[in-house]
Amino acid sequence: MKHAKLALGLVLVVAGVALALSPAWIAERVGKIPKTESDVINLRASYGGTLIGLGAFVAWVPSLRPWLRTMLGLLGWAMAGIGLARLLGFALDGNPDGRQAIWIIAEVLLVIGCAFGVKKLALTTRG
């Protein structure tokens, strides 16, 4: 079961990377034609990044209980995937608007907060 979960997670991450690298393909499928570089960055983050984060979560999650750890993990990994795809967009598309800076800062802060929360839960349940 552990290997199947890891394999599924890796497949999702690879699919997410493929989507993050293919914003034009996504735009055609969802009917959102980007007008600015920030629109392209958002396509990468919303679709590719979300799938990267979901795959990383599936590969990471040790069990669904305790629920708080699961929710913190899901949020943290989702934000990490979205942030990673957004940074890819910064590098490949350039010219992000001010909202992109707000989004990446929020994503980084959420990842840090979730990581601390998961760590604190691990420490309190052990001892």
pLDDT, tens digit, 9 for 90 and up, residues 96-119: 999 999 999 999 999 999 999 999
What pTM was estimated for this model as a whole? 0.93
Quick one: pLDDT band at residue 15, thresholds 50, 70, 90?
A: very high
Quick one: pLDDT band at residue 1, thresholds 50, 70, 90?
A: confident
Q: Based on the structure, what is the number of domains in the chain?
A: 1
Count the Cβ atoms, other than its own, within 10 Å of residue 95: 11
Quick one: pLDDT band at residue 63, thresholds 50, 70, 90?
A: confident
| 19 DSSP assignment | H
* Domain membership of residue 39 as a residue range: 2-126
Q: Which stretches of the chain are DSSP H helices?
A: 2-20, 23-30, 37-43, 50-60, 67-93, 98-126
What's the pLDDT score for residue 127?
53
